[in-house]
A and B are shown apart, each in its own frame.
Chain A
Amino acid sequence: MKIIVNRIIVKATCPYCGCLCDDVEVTLEDGEIYSIKNACPLGRMKINSATSNVRNLKYLIKSGNDKIEVTVDEAVEETANLLLSADKPILYGWSNTSCEAQRLGLKIAKILRGVWDNTTSVCHGTAAIATAESGIPSATLGEVKNRADLIIYWGSNPLEAHPRHFKRYSYYSKGRFVSNNARRKMIVIDVRETSAARLADKFIQVKPNSDYKVISTLHHIIKFGEPPERKAAEVNINDLMEAAKLIKEAKFGVVFFGLGLTMTGYGYCNLDALYSLIRELNRFSKWVTIPMRGHYNVTGANIVASYMTGFPFAVDFSTGKPYYNPGETTIIDLLYHNECDLLMSVAADPLGTLPGEVVSKTIGMKIIAQDPFPTPTTEAADIVLPTLICGVETGGTAYRMDGVPIPLKPILKSRLNLLSDEELLKKILERISWRR
């Protein structure tokens, strides 16, 4: 018979997607996870991954074709060596770790005169560019929960990528002025009929890469009450007329947009157009737009970089001063043009997520990978730095997709004798500062 010595329930902040649900309850039994309440499959998986056997466990340094195990100090020393001898190192990732670690990363990049970029540059970077070009009318998610009577998901499928978004913040949530989904309407705009589209009051199927035209046409219909003279072939006017009617009836509307807008066509033009449309709509009623950020702390990475340097991502310190020019200083641009000679990835997997044409350029580059899990990047790396899982085994601060800061909590004590991202980076920073 098993005797239960110790069973406690801890409140957790889910470190998976931009929803950053903070109502997750984990029951621990003798320090082991017994059950997880309120989490979606993604969050559940992430929290359980702490006990997974597929982890980076050892500090490894490449030697010939093999990797040999070293102590943490040796690994830090070697990391500092590589970083200091690099001509233009790029420090990339940062979206799956705490703001505290991101801050240290920026300091390291500044001392090294390297480049600091986060995963924003390949997901919502275009939204940040559009924000700089024309500004974003936005709000926190609670405003949607309490007020929104029309919700539009554009190029985003929350059921697959942000499973609890509907229930906690939007369509199925219960708020002060809109008590249930019977009073809310939902429009989904996508290139294919997604699972969310099946639940929508109206689904508008658009042709791939035609979003800019669709938004412009919708804008024209809303502004002038009629479709434009010259109709774009890709756009279904009837659909948009119906959507415009719903939009004009709404008291409080929101557009959630995902990679379906940021990654297609000329991403930032899509968003310029969308923001412009939202500004127009504010003449009739209240409208806001919120990006559906992927990683749980990618918003934090933008915020930390913005207040530390003035720029949200792709910050190049190589001349001593921060310089920001997406199209020249993002990881994709730099790797493609062979501008960097060292890639340090922290809590990300550039080799597994960047375009093939860019990944092929990293052959021959020195790579340092800091990650709790094995990835194509750690496989190819010259130095592997294992860490604890931020948000499960260690705490910190993270920002939700709408910019609300929420503390991450260490849910369980790790059985592994490893350091957190923050502690490891602090060691690296100390080593570098001392050597300089």
Chain B
Amino acid sequence: MDILIENGVFVERIKGRDPIVINAERKVILPGGVDLHSHFAGSKVTLGRLLRPEEHRLRHQFGNSGNHIGTGWATPTPFLCGYLYSKLGYAKIVEPAVPPLKARHTHEEMRGIPYMDKMSLLLLGNSWIIMDLIAQKRLKLLEKYVLWVLWASKTYGIKLVAPGSGEAWAWGKSITHIDDEIPNFSITPKDIIYNLARVNKEIGLKTPVHLHTNNLGSPGNYQTTIDSLKTVENLGLRDGDSPFIIHLVHAQFSSYKGDSWKTFSSGSEEVAAYINSNSHVSFDLGQIIFSNTTTMTADGAWQYNLYRLTGGKWINNDVENETASGIVPYTFKRKNYVNAIQWAVGLELALLVKDPWKLAVTTDHPNGGVFTSYPVIIAWLMNKKFRERTIEKINSKAKHIIILPSIDREYTLFETVIVTRSAPARIMGVKDGATIGIGKEANLAIYDLGDPERDLGENPVKLIKGLSSANYNIKNGLIVMKNGVPVQDFNGVTYYSGGVNESEELTELVDYYFKEYYTVEKENYIVQKGEVMHPVNVLEEVFK
């Protein structure tokens, strides 16, 4: 069978002459991968680089690349990031944590990432304007503001990180219960989750609200997670590609039982059961990989706890009126009881949730591990024996209490394609970019995974090797990468949402906050289209 591509899309018949022919006999051809949660650009990532020069010194230097400079592992430089993703066969990536005030920085770095189409999610879970509007019950205005702020920062969707907890952390405190009142704001985290999920549906964003739950990383947090998801049960489903109302990010970090680190255990069964019996939730794994990495999140309070646990380095960087953030280097160790359970929780979730269309494979790069480890996760999912080999090596106390050994399910190749391509593309509302079909965007990756007649899961080492370096990566019909070597310079588009609403009420509201609370002018807060690499708005630009 031939796959024909012309002018960046799949076609039935080629009109031009002398096409390039690639012989992909006995190779596996997949649509370009979609990573819907990976911290690869922005102020947090750069602070991570500042914190860890040792990582850039010792690991992964890529010198042989003309004008380009590539170093780093958990925080690769933009060029290296695009290169590594492309090598992996990916086409679209999502930066899931942009503080609006620093969106310009994120775009500046994203401009330097070649090959990939980029999207980014805006941190709105601790925004003063949003919390005030919810408290004042000015919900129509809230919709207009969300559209405006997405447009102003040229970002794609809404991300809530430990809603309300960032505000508490600004006073050195944290919120442990989603019904607790946020300091100085007479609302609760639940109000934020509910209202933003509703706004998201009303204004028709392409992707659901992405939720990083409160209490993330703490023992016993699975209940908070389920409670948070329940909050939006009655909102129904959304129209469009992505029917989900809420997307639970790096679910692994939110699915723990126990009441201390000693009694820490897996809550994957409960969370998976909830997701299986409800249709409004999608999630991604946040699988951990046993290795050293640089954790970074907008959940400042949690990062301070993590720093207190490790006693190593810690960066904190709160952004005025909007969000907190923290960075801590961390090593996930096989022999560590908690880490071993965390490892199992991710895989358990992936194997216990029945419908692969509800989930995406991620490591919450770089929090659980680096994105280049995705092939290893695929191998764990496809091969029970390979899982067992890792279980052999983990902490022995953990080994006996996890349920992973009792799960027999093995993913088929088809299912892995769903969880690395189709499902994340659907959740993000960019389904057409990850489909091989006439008229669709021609993003392809061609892999050599050995003999396709045989069971691909049988030889995990070969599978990992094959998936780690695509023979070809074709982006918008152009060969950008061949056997792990960049072929040509090419920049993907940047998708964003939102629009300008011509409303005096909105102008008055926004102007007030800039005059009273921000330290920059409104005009300097708005990212201009010219500062964004190939901007594409997926919504109407102006609303009346």
A and B directly contacting (CB within 8 A): yes
Instruction: Mark A residues whose CB is within 8 Å of B.
Output: 11, 13, 22-23, 99, 106-107, 110-111, 128, 131-143, 145-147, 168-169, 174-177, 251-252, 279, 282, 284-288, 302-303, 306-312, 317, 320-324, 397, 399, 403-407, 433
B318: interface (CB < 8 Å): yes
- Pick from B49, B52, B524: contact of A13, CB under 8 Å: B524
B297–chain A nearest beta-carbon distance, Å: 15
A161–chain B nearest beta-carbon distance, Å: 18
When chains A and B are docked, how far (Å) is the Cα of A323 from the Cα of B71? Answer: 10
B252–chain A nearest beta-carbon distance, Å: 25
Give A252's nearest chain B residue, CB to CB. Answer: B171
Query: Contact at B108–A131, with CB atoms within 8 Å?
Result: no
Given contacts A135-B327, A303-B105, A320-B63, contact A311 B524 (CB under 8 A): no
Query: Contact at A169–B46, with CB atoms within 8 Å?
Result: no
Mark B27-57 against chain A: 1 for CB-CB distance below 8 A, else 0.
0000000000000010101110111111111
A411–chain B nearest beta-carbon distance, Å: 14
Interface residues of B in 60-74 (CB under 8 A from A): 61, 63-64, 67, 69, 71-72
Residues of A contacting B184 in the complex (Cβ-Cβ under 8 angstroms): 177
Residues of A contacting B50 in the complex (Cβ-Cβ under 8 angstroms): 128, 131-132, 302, 306, 312
When chains A and B are docked, how far (Å) is the Cα of A287 from the Cα of B520? Answer: 22
B112: interface (CB < 8 Å): yes
B166–chain A nearest beta-carbon distance, Å: 11
Given contacts A302-B50, A403-B102, A407-B524, contact A168 B519 (CB under 8 A): yes
Query: Contact at B523–A136, with CB atoms within 8 Å?
Result: no
Query: Contact at B52–A132, with CB atoms within 8 Å?
Result: yes
Query: Contact at B46–A137, with CB atoms within 8 Å?
Result: no
Residues of A contacting B432 in the complex (Cβ-Cβ under 8 angstroms): none
Query: Contact at A307–B49, with CB atoms within 8 Å?
Result: yes
B77: interface (CB < 8 Å): yes
Query: Contact at A138–B319, with CB atoms within 8 Å?
Result: no
Q: Which of B277-285, B309-317, B449-457 contacts A (4 or more CB under 8 A)?
A: B309-317
Q: How many residues of B contact A (CB 8 A)?
A: 60
Mark B317-332 against chain A: 1 for CB-CB distance below 8 A, else 0.
1111100000110000
Mark B64-99 against chain A: 1 for CB-CB distance below 8 A, else 0.
100101011001011000000000000000000000
Query: Contact at B313–A135, with CB atoms within 8 Å?
Result: yes
B337: interface (CB < 8 Å): no
Give A311's nearest chain B residue, CB to CB. Answer: B53
Query: Contact at B320–A308, with CB atoms within 8 Å?
Result: no
Query: Contact at A306–B320, with CB atoms within 8 Å?
Result: no
Query: Contact at A23–B521, with CB atoms within 8 Å?
Result: yes
Residues of B contacting A11 in the complex (Cβ-Cβ under 8 angstroms): 521, 523
B448: interface (CB < 8 Å): no
Given contacts A110-B67, A132-B50, contact A307 B315 (CB under 8 A): no
Query: Contact at A131–B51, with CB atoms within 8 Å?
Result: yes
Top 10 A-B pairs ranked by shortest CB distance? A142-B320, A310-B56, A286-B172, A135-B313, A139-B318, A310-B71, A405-B104, A137-B316, A142-B519, A135-B315
When chains A and B are docked, how far (Å) is the Cα of A68 from the Cα of B4? Answer: 61
Residues of B contacting A433 in the complex (Cβ-Cβ under 8 angstroms): 67
Query: Contact at B172–A307, with CB atoms within 8 Å?
Result: no
Query: Contact at A142–B102, with CB atoms within 8 Å?
Result: no
